[in-house]
Amino acid sequence: MRAKESKASKSAFLEETKQLGSDLLTSRSHVNNAPALLSTLSNAKHPSPPRAEALRSLQAFFVSLLRAGKLESGARSVEAAKDGEEPEAVYRMWVWSKYQEFRKTVFRMITEESASALQVEALNTWMDLVRDEKLGEFNNTLYYKLCEATVRCKGSTNDILQLLIKKYFKYCDVRYYTYANLETLISKRLRKNEKGMDTAVSSDEDEEKRSGVRLHAFSRNAYELLSSLPTLSNDEQKSGDDVHELWTHPQDEDRNRESGGKRKNRASSSKTKQSKPTSPKKQKAAFSKAWLAFLRLALPLDTYKKVLGRLHRQVIPHMNNPILLSSSVLYLPVVASVYAPDECSDFLTQSYDVGGLISVMALSSLFILITGHGLEYPDFYNKLYALLEPSIFVAKHRSRFFELLDSCLKSSHLPAYLAAAFAKRLGRLVLSAPPSGSIVVIALIHNILRRHPSVNCLVHRDSSQATTIAAVKDGANVEGITAEEKSDKAVDGKLGADPFRADESDTAKCDALQSSLWEIDTLRRHYCPAVSRFVESLETDLTVRAKTTEMSISDFSSTSYATIFNEEVGRRLKAVPLAFYHTVPSTLFAENCFEGWTFGDVDVTPMKAIEDTKTSNIVVNKETVDAEEDSDEDEDGDEEEGMNEEDDEEENKDSMDDLDSDRDSDDSAGSRSRSEQSDGEDWPGPLKRFRSG
């Protein structure tokens, strides 16, 4: 009963709210219904349906007054009162106060009613007020408050962002003012940090006590809002034509008609203000300023990686002057998202100097600035050389890295020592690389040798010549050394040693030109067939460019164990190796595999007993013969003694022959007896000799 009564009361309350809203919209005499609807809307204890109905009724009431020009601020109402319109002015002031209360309630619903239909309704209402409060003009004052609430939100902003992306970010004026508001908010934040702290950033706890907003949350929310904005297409940027899809544009003519002659001048002046968002140049300028301001924030590590992965694809192509990215002040985070506020430098160049994955991610953007925008970075190749470590083969962005590495080494103006250093460093990495990495390295070295003929000495130089050069450079006396001594590498350990200095970070000092690519020769015997076959591509004379072609690194950079296996399985073989046996083997090893060992059906216990018996018989026979020889010695003399010794040897031979024949017969008898005693058990051949007799 109570549930039914509660449901009935809620239904009655909803009907009452609908009636109040209907009366408010139909007649001015029911204007006092507005405070009642505001009370329903602001009370969070009321159910959602009556609050949503009150929101829609109040929105329709106030928007109609705004479009008719009958809702003005208090200052304008005072001016009207001075002109003799006192009752009307008092009414407008009262309505304006209720409108202000309505705006505050709607804004509170946006920030507090998370993940609900009321929040969506409130956001739509707020954007309608942004469009309709000022005649023919985008009310950025209201929209700035929305952007500020989104960036400073302590919780998730996904619901607000999703609605903005889906419905409002397609309008160019909304995008333009979003960029402008973000730049303003970030600049204020940075100034606040500079005034309130000695260092650029503080810990999360201190920042939360100071302003109630965590710096991490501020940076993440700003990035989410900034990265959600769609950019102008290349066609729109090249054409230079104004973009006329505005949030405020469709209602301009209607408003001019409704407002009358007093508002014509104001409407015409607003058109000049609206010219900013429609210009692609203005859009690009606002886009650039917002991103440059954002990059000055102290970014948490996760956001920092997202930014580096996005710059070269979605930021640099749409900026007015991308070279400014190399001079943006950055507060770099270090490992484990700990800030390093004392380290301030150029954004991309400092990111490239960090090392590891950060440098790999910054390489794409830095390469675009160097090749397309004339950025000078003298230490670029030494930093790139330092990135060639074994961990690069398991890095997340290794495919993009290898493609960029190939592009960076494509210029024919590179010095020979530089190309040789990269070829040698890659060759050294291949010794510990997985098969997929070995294939990429072979392709890279192939392209280096083809593009730079001056480094082909790494392939065709005699090893003794190379080691002699290294020994001379290191101060060893190699005059008078014979060929045998050179082959034995006997000059203080210098000859035969690789002169390449793997631990040298400077490409000009690593002595790569004096070495050779002996590491590639080891791949001929690689355990992976794909690698050993692919290395044969380096056997051709790559200096003859007409007969060779460059390899596309993108075809090999995504190679993995799975792709290599699938390729091997799908290959068509001309000759298939077969495992053929004349007889099915019954043992793991044949008897002739190991000398002194026997394999097969051998029972150790009976054999040992037979050997013991035969050995005792030999001892008894030997004692009997010795006794007879002693008795004959006295009678026959010395000559007969020699004859008896020869007879003894013949008798011993006969007895040993008898022993061998008896052993063979016993073996056959023992095998028959064991087969009879098997009790029907089927023992495998290799295991029969372990079965007890």
Dist. CA 451–CA 414, nearest whole Å: 10
Per-residue tokens: 422: 């990269």
Which of the four pLDDT bands, split at 50, 70 and 90, describes residue 239? low
Q: Which of 474, 538, 475, 459 is nearest to 511 (CA)?
A: 474
Predicted confidence band of residue 263 (pLDDT cuts 50, 70, 90)? very low
Question: 590 — phi, psi (to 5°)?
Answer: -80, 165
Joined together, the tokens standing for residue 636 give 């026959």
Res. 340 pLDDT band, cuts 50 70 90: very low
Q: Of 168-172, 241-245, 373-377, which has the strongest mean pLDDT?
A: 168-172
Q: What distances in angstroms separate CA 411 from CA 372, 416, 450, 451, 528, one per listed residue? A: 14, 11, 12, 8, 33
Amino acid at position 692, single letter: S
pLDDT attached to residue 202: 41
CA distance 247 to 606: 104
Q: Are 659 and 651 in contact (CB under 8 A)?
A: no
* HEC per residue, 565-594: HHHHHHCCCCCCCCCCCCCCCCCCCCCCCC
Between these two residues, 373 and 421, which has the higher pLDDT value? 421
Residue ranges covered by each domain of the chain: 1-137, 139-193+211-230+279-298, 300-329+345-378, 391-401+408-470+498-570
**pLDDT of 437 higher than 60:** yes
Percentage of residues in the chain having pLDDT higher than 90: 19
Q: pLDDT by residue (tens digit) across 387-403?
A: 999 999 988 888 989 99
Q: What is the pLDDT of residues 143-168, one digit of tens each?
A: 999 999 888 877 666 778 888 888 89
Q: 333 pairs with which residues across the strands?
A: 339
Picking from 632, 622, 629, 628, the residue whose alpha carbon sits closest to that of residue 654 is 622
Give phi and psi for 683, each to the nearest 5.
Answer: -85, 135
CA distance 388 to 584: 53
Q: What is the per-residue pLDDT for 176? A: 92
Q: How far is CA 519 from CA 466, 497, 505, 556, 593, in A?
A: 15, 13, 20, 20, 37
pLDDT of residue 427: 93
**How far apart, in whole angstroms, are the C-alpha atoms of residue 503 and residue 575?**
46
133 phi and psi, to 5 degrees?
-70, -40
Helix axes 561-570, 435-451, angle to 10 degrees: 90
Q: Which residues contact 451 (CB under 8 A, 6 or more apart)?
A: 409, 410, 412, 419, 550
Stated as kind and residue range, the H or E segment containing 329 is strand 329-334
Please give the single-letter amino acid code of residue 32: N
CA dist 57 to 22, 34, 95, 103, 628, Å?
A: 7, 9, 15, 14, 140
- Strands 338-346, 329-334: pairing is antiparallel
Per the prediction, the chain carries an average pLDDT of: 74
User: Would you say the pTM of this structure is higher than 0.85?
Assistant: no
